[in-house]
Amino acid sequence: MDTPMHVVYSREDITKRIQRLGEEITEAYQDVREPIVAVCVLKGAFVFFADLVRELDLDVEIDFVRLASYGQQTQRHFKVQFTKDLETPVTDRHVLLVEDIVDTGHSIEYLSQVMWARKPKSVRICALVDKKERREVDVHVDYPGFDLEKGFIVGYGLDYAERYRHLDSICTFVNPPEEA
């Protein structure tokens, strides 16, 4: 692959951070007596999720959702929809939403609202990257991996136009495409 990139978080940085996140989340749910439901937000979180759940010393069920967002940024109007919903009922369960990145916040805000409407015991958010530059809604990430001030990133699940998800580190383009 010939696109020049800078590494923002190396595979080693990511592995170490996920080990710590795993400890933190394990500790936070210590008193929970039933399996929590860990939810992977496809596609981007698929690599992070697979690594994170294996660091949890907890009883965990896993499930997947996929969202599609249609942003009309001039009007600050965002519409987010499920293209794949959970198969697991979450009423009276503890739900951990796992994202690769929270950017404007619209996707995770929508997802948390939908989850809360199903009357779970709790909904918490873990995101590998908490990127503040373009935040438009006030969402709190309970378990952030890395705080990123700005920049469009790819790799380790994150894409640009569906490419680069398979990279094992998180990178930025040396020459960013205009729309990124």
Question: E-strand spans in 90-154?
Answer: 94-102, 122-131, 143-148, 153-154
Q: Which does 130 bind (CB under 5 to 8 A by kind): ligand PRP, ligand HPA, Mg ion, none?
A: none
Strands 122-131 and 94-102 come out as parallel
Window 126 to 165, contacts with ligand PRP (CB under 6 A)? 159
Q: What is the DSSP string of 55-105?
A: T--S-EEEEEEEEEEEEEGGGTEEEEEEEE--SS--TTSEEEEEEEEESSS
From residue 139 to residue 168, the character string flagging contacts with ligand HPA as x (rule: CB under 6 A) and all else as - is: -------------xxx---xx---------
Contact between 126 and ligand HPA by CB under 6 A: the answer reads no
Q: Single out the segment in contact with ligand PRP by CB under 6 A; choices: 19-27, 28-36, 50-58, 106-114.
A: 106-114
Q: Is 69 in the site for ligand PRP (CB under 6 A)?
A: yes
The reply to whether 19 sits near ligand PRP by the rule CB under 6 A is no
CA neighbours closer than 13 Å in the CB half-sphere of residue 124: 16
Our CB check for ligand HPA shows the closer of 146 and 152 to be 152
The one among 114, 136, 159, 165 contacting Mg ion by CB under 5 A:
159
Which part of the chain contacts ligand PRP (CB under 6 A), choosing from 8-16, 28-36, 88-96, 97-105? 97-105
Please list every residue from 56 through 115 that binds ligand HPA, using CB under 6 A: 101, 103
- Order of strands, sheet of 60-72, starting from the edge strand that comes earlier in the sequence: 77-84, 60-72, 36-42, 94-102, 122-131, 143-148
d(CA 28, CA 9): 25
Nearest to 34 by CA among 117, 95, 86, 111: 95
The correct pick among 22, 36, 58, 103 for binding ligand PRP (CB under 6 A) is: 103
Nearer to ligand PRP, 58 or 170 (CB): 170
